Amino acid sequence: MEKSRKRLLNFLICAPVCLLFGLVFAEFAAAAEAATHGLHDIGTELHVWTALPFAGILLSIALCPLLLPHFWHNHFGKISAFWALLFAAPFLFFYQDVAVYHILHIYLIDYIPFIILLWGLFTVAGGIVIRGSLKGTPALNTMMLMIGTILASLVGTTGAAMVMIRPVLRANKDRLKKTHIVCFFIFLVANIGGSLTPLGDPPLFLGFLHNVPFFWVTTGILPHMLTASALLLALFFIVDTLYYRNEKNRINAESAEEKIPFKIEGIINFVFLAGVIILVLMSGYWKPGHLSVIGVHLEYQSIVRDLGIITMGILSLVFTSRKLREANDFSWFPIMEVAKLFAGIFMTIIPALAILKAGSGGALSSLVSVVKESYHYFWVTGALSSFLDNAPTYLTFFNLALGKLGITETMVPGALAATAATANPEFSMYLKAISAGAVFMGANTYIGNAPNFMVKSIAEEAGVNMPSFFGYMIRYSIPILVPVFILVTFIFF
C-alpha cells in the first residue's frame, strides 16, 4: 500500500514535469525550424510558452517555502538548477551557437556583474555596526526609513538597503509586530529611494549610458519620488503607531537594560563603500574599448569595475574584525540564496527578455502596440519590471519612445533640456513615466529589484516572520503600493 502511494506521488510529480519539458522542447523545435541561425535576435522566433521555466521558478519561489519549507531550505539551489536546465537543454539542442551566445551574454554582461556588486555591498555593509540604545518607536522608525530613502539615490538601493537594514532590525528587536517595517523598508529604501540619480538603480544607470543627462533624473523624477515617498512614510507612521501602542507597555517593561551610547564602528568600510560607488560611476564615463568572448563584448571598464568591487570586498574582510561582523549577525547565507536563485532566474528569463526586446515583431507585440500614452509607459514598464529585470525592460521602452518620436540617442540630451530649441516635452514625459515605472514598481515583488530578496533573507535570519512571495503581494504591495501608484498616475501622467 505504501509503495503504491509513493508510485502515485512520483507519477503526479513527474507527469506534469515531463509534459512541461515536452511542451518547451516542441516550442523550441518549431521556433528553430524557422530560425535564421546567423542572427542573434531570437525574440521574433520564440513563443511565449518558452518562458514556462521562468514561470516555474517564480512559482517555486512563491509556493515551496509555504508548502515544503524544510525541503526548500535545503534544496532551493537544486530547484533553481532544475528550472534552468529545463530551459537550457532544448535551447542548446536546437539553437547551438546562438544559444551559447545568449547564455554567455546574460551571465557575463548581467548576472556576474549583478552578483559581484551585490556581494561587494553586502560584504562592506556587513562590517558597519551601528550601536546604541535605539528603540523602534514610530518616530525613530520613520526617520530611519527616511534616511535610507535619501541614501538610496547616493549609494544605490542595494548599498542603502545593506547599510540600513541591520540597524532597523536591531532597533526593533523587542517589537512583536515588525513585518510591516521590513516591507515598507523594501518599498522605500530598496526601490523608490533610488530614483533620483543614475547611481540609485540599474535602469537609470542604463539610461545614463545611453545619453540621458546625469542630473536630468534628479529634476525630472523628484516630484514623483517625493509624492510617493511622503505618502508611504505617512502611512507607515500611522500603521506603526497603531502596532506600537498595543505593544508599548510590554516593550517598556522588557527594555529596562543599560543604556548604550550611539556609536558607529567599522568606519573604514565607508571608504570601501565609497570605492564601490566611484568604480560604478567610473564605468559610466570611461570608455577604453572591449574584448570579445565568443561574440560577447566585454567592456574593459566593466572588467575593471568588477575586479575593483571584489577588491573592496576583500579589503573589507581583511580590515574588519570578526567581532564586528558577529555583532551584525553576519552570515553568507543571504548572498548564497540570492546567487543560486538568480542564477536560475537569469537563465530562464532569456526568452521573456528576447520576446520583449523584439517589440512589435515578437509574441508580445499586442502588449507593445497598446503603449501610446505616458501612463501606458508607466504601468506597462512597471508591471514588467515587477517580474522581469527592470534594466532591459527600461531600455526596451526607452528605445520604443525614441522610435515613436524619431529621436536618436545623440539627440536625447537636447530633447530633454527644457531650454534647448530641440526640447521635446512629449519624450520627456515618456521618459519620466518609464523611469518611475521601472524604479517604483520594482517594489511590487521580491524579485522586482536586486535588494528586495536580500532584505527578506536578512530579516528572516533575524527572526522576522516575512510573508511568502504571494503573501507579500496580497498583504502589502497590492493594497498599499498600487493605490499610491494610481494617485501618482493621476497627478503626473
* Window from 36-50, 159-173, 246-260, 395-409 with minimum mean pLDDT: 246-260
Q: What is the pLDDT of residue 249?
A: 61
Using one digit for the tens of pLDDT, what is the confidence trace for 467-485? 988 899 999 999 999 999 9
Q: In percent, how much of the chain has pLDDT > 90? A: 24
Q: Is the pLDDT of residue 232 over 90?
A: yes
**Between the CA atoms of 481, 482, 487 and 489, what dihedral angle is there, to the nearest 10 degrees?**
120
Q: What is the pLDDT of residue 251?
A: 57
Report d(CA 493, CA 483) in Å as an integer: 15
- Is residue 153 within a helix (H) or strand (E), and if so which, with residue range? helix 138-171
In Å, what is the CA distance from 69 to each residue of 5, 128, 324, 468, 493? 22, 32, 31, 11, 42
Residue range 313-322: mean pLDDT, rounded: 91
Helices (H), 255-332: 268-285, 300-319, 322-327
Q: What is the pLDDT of residue 2?
A: 46
- Average pLDDT over all residues of the chain: 81
The per-residue b/e assignment along 243-273, b for 16 or more CB within 10 angstroms, e otherwise, is bbeebeeebeeeeeeeeeeeeebbebbbebb
Using one digit for the tens of pLDDT, what is the confidence trace for 76-134? 899 999 999 999 988 888 888 888 888 998 888 878 887 888 888 888 888 887 776 67
Q: Is the pLDDT of residue 203 over 70?
A: yes
Helix (H, G, I), strand (E, B) or coil at 136: coil
Q: Is the pLDDT of residue 141 over 50?
A: yes
Q: What is the pLDDT of residue 41?
A: 67
Q: 90-94, 350-354, 418-422 — which one is most confidently predicted on average?
A: 90-94
Using one digit for the tens of pLDDT, what is the confidence trace for 239-282? 999 888 877 665 555 555 556 677 788 889 889 988 988 888 88
Q: Is the pLDDT of residue 197 over 80?
A: yes
More confident residue, 110 or 150: 150
| Residues whose CB is less than 8 angstroms from the CB of residue 485 and which lie 6 or more positions away in sequence, other chains included | 228, 378, 379, 382, 440, 441
All three cell numbers of 119: 556581494
Q: Is the pLDDT of residue 18 over 60?
A: no
Using one digit for the tens of pLDDT, what is the confidence trace for 279-295? 888 887 788 888 887 78
Closest to 488 (Cα-Cα) out of 231, 229, 228? 228
Residue range 421-430: mean pLDDT, rounded: 82
Q: Is the pLDDT of residue 1 over 60?
A: no
Q: Are 344 and 83 in contact (CB under 8 A)?
A: yes
Q: 41-45, 48-52, 301-305 — which one is most confidently predicted on average?
A: 301-305
Q: What is the pLDDT of residue 260?
A: 67
More confident residue, 199 or 343: 343
What is this structure's pTM?
0.76
Q: Is the pLDDT of residue 14 over 60?
A: no
- Adjacent-strand bridge partners of 299: 290
